[in-house]
Amino acid sequence: MIDSRHKATELDLLLNELLLSEEIPYSIILSKVDKLKQSHKSASIKNIKLQFPELSLGDNLFLYSSLKGIGKKEVETRLSKLFL
């Protein structure tokens, strides 16, 4: 989970390298998207894809807001596929 208002941290990037080297599938959730205007959402997605080029929106990259429920169903669906 990464705050959509910020870039990934160095620790996020290191974890990504580890997961890729071990071929462990993962997803990233961009949180707090309700706080962004549409143009900033697009910029946030673009920036995160520059840092993690293997991500695909709706596949392993999700937008989420707990306050407004944005992306809740998509994240639940992804989690259920992993654990059921």
Does pTM surpass 0.85? yes
Return the CATH class of domain 2-83: alpha beta
pLDDT one-digit tens code per residue, 36-79: 999 999 999 999 999 999 999 999 999 999 999 999 999 999 99
Res 81: pLDDT: 87
Is residue 84's pLDDT more than 80? no
User: What does the domain layout of the chain look like in residue ranges?
Assistant: 2-83
SS (H, E, C) the chain: CEECCCCCCHHHHHHHHHHHHCCCCCCEEEECHHHCCHHHHHHHHHHHHHHCCCCCECCCEEECCCCCCCCHHHHHHHHHHHHC
